[in-house]
Structure 1
Amino acid sequence: MTTLDDLPLRSELKGRSPYGAPQLDVEVRLNTNENPYSLPEPVAEAVEQALAAVLRDLNRYPDREAEALRADLAAYLGAATGHDGLTGANLWAANGSNEVQQQLLQVFGGPGHLAMGFSPSYSMHEILAAGTGTQWHDAQRGADFALRPESASSLVRVYQPDIVFLCSPNNPTGTALDLEVIESVAREAPGVVVVDEAYGEFAREGTPSAVTLLPKYPRLIVTRTMSKAFAFAGVRLGYLAADPAVVQAVQLVRLPYHLSALTQAAARAALANSPLLLAQVEAIKTERDRIVAGLRALDLTVADSDANFVLFATPTRDQQATWQALLDRSVLVRDVGLPGWLRVTAGTHDETTWFLEAMAEVVADQRNAAPKETVTVGQEKSSDES
């Protein structure tokens, strides 16, 4: 039987494993940063009507450039971030923000080019770089998981990457970047700077988006997704905002008719009902803050979060034992590969209650079983996140 070792894989793909998180049948699934709420009924009905309207034209190719969808995205994002100058020419959409980022690597990366990120961060960026033959440099965040303007820009100055990836809010740590950090990198970078704002809608009050910096930096690119805030993970719709020249560059590598008519119709219907969906975001933020407060009440170290998830230190250095103890209580959280840390997604009120009660039991059991250990943060590299 043929195995991967028998195939002529590219060298940068040898020894790798497919990206993914465990999909287990549990009562409380809080490991993949999904929106815990179904679409509100009025939104579901609007999506159904939009899909019905295009069903009889599925023998024809969709709008290749998704112009109507891009205009709708520009209107939504401009209103959400306070950037009233966005138009469809500034927006590009694809099947999830991962495909958008892959297209950016196809355009600005590839063999002989360097991409850089600051770990612990979203591991898919490195995987996408490998898939496009782009060299990857893994810079490290500080011991407190922070990224500061001087250190970030100095590393860019040294390595001269063609693409810099920044996450804000960062995955898996959850905290948004100060705009000063993004500007310091944008000023120094010889190529493009990609700010991944997949969780931007969940940021705490007063947190500005990097979208506001686009007029000042023509090589700055902000990627977003409808998977999280819009409860659209099953639709797969991501997008970027950038200078129109960047959008034109991405069109050089996009596959023909890459966004189906069904995807475009569903996304436009959801955008037309964004206030209903964003009301759910406020409920999720309430549960996130409840998780932060609840875990700190258990005397655990918790990272500040601007996302729909929380990174927390486990009672002992063995985070796998805590992960298993929670699973034994039918709660699935994410082991992101940081010794002594786990990540939990904010769920519904009942799911949050279940998690916090289970966590209180686990903490009591583990502290009774062994002396408390001190966790040293931020030195190890993260594994897969989503």
Structure 2
Amino acid sequence: MSNQIFMLPDLGEGLTEADIAQWHVEVGDVVTIDQIVVEVETAKAAVDVPIPFAGTVIELHGADGETLKVGTPLITVSGGSDADATVSATHERYREEERAGSGNVLIGYGTSEDAPLRRRRTGAAAHTVSLAPSSGTSARWLSPIVRTLARENGLDENSLTATGAGGVIVRADVERALEQPSFTATTPAAASSVDVRIPLEGLRKAVADKLTTSRREIPDATTWVDVDATELFTARTQINNALPDHDKISLMALLARLTVAALKRYPELNASVDTARGEIVRYRQIHLGIAAHTPKGLMVPVISDADALTTVELSQALREMTELARDGKLPPARLTGGTFTLNNYGVFGVDGSTPIINHPEAAILGIGRIIDKPWVMNGQLTVRKIAQISLSFDHRVCDGGEAGGFLRLFGDYVENPISVLGRL
């Protein structure tokens, strides 16, 4: 029996590296084929990595927070007598699952071991993983970032309640301890309020890079207008009264539907600029990105072919995306390919914003909070539900006339939504 080295597999979507977010095993543990051994964080999403070998863990090639390149060693295990035959059978089972549409999606294959990598996705086959610590060892450990956060705030690691898999102390455990009324700093570092340095890596680095590119390459401008959203709420109530409980639609779904309707009238905003070829690319389909704040930071999951979906289908897609984003399980493929982004920054309690365009798209539509305000209607002062909407757009793609026309049309749809919601 020889040791086998499992390389970091191809993560798909053109990704070439990943950060180790959390090991689920340690040296000395016995692993089985298909067991999830590590969670890695790419520029797109968090991904669970299963191992195609069975055996005893000999070496982990990287610590928490460390960045590994695709095709470099990830984990070494001692080999089993029938390992090669079992791995081949596993590969074939994965291929059969994909052909049968089981929901287990193959992202790609490793450069040396041809090992499939399973995206985390609702409906995928569950893995039962034993994370009991080896004899004489402790399963309570921290990633470098979380450990630093705890120590900078004077927290004793032994006093923390670990909620992560296998007794891992995660960031939420530290933050929960800091929120306790009984918390007091116990170290000079915390007492003197020293600066905290947080590595710019993983998803946060990807977001920073994209926003920096947007500001550097796109000559953007922003326009905004106040709209009366009272009838939008009325329309939602009327529609939901006619639907079964499992099909009830959200307000965000209505806004997404109105966005798609306005883009059909102004297709020049559903576009991007191909700087290498000096061309404006106007897309036939609308792949709608929804800016979302998640525990891992800003993400923009994409609803593909949103223009082909009914309002109910849009609402169902949004509900699924929200659950996956909240659980940190959005697969990389759901975070790419957008052609236009909708940003509901009103959930943060703000009225307006000048959102940065999600490069390489040409525009982003923003929705502020919807609140009761005085409003003149038919010459009479009354109270209505008012929101400020804004549009940041690439001035290379369209001028203020087209941008203003799109925003005004969208505002008209918000004020009279029934006119465009005939097909549910």
TM-score range, shorter chain: under 0.3
Higher share of residues assigned helix: 1
TM-score (norm 1): 0.24
Higher share of residues assigned strand: 2
TM-score (norm 2): 0.22
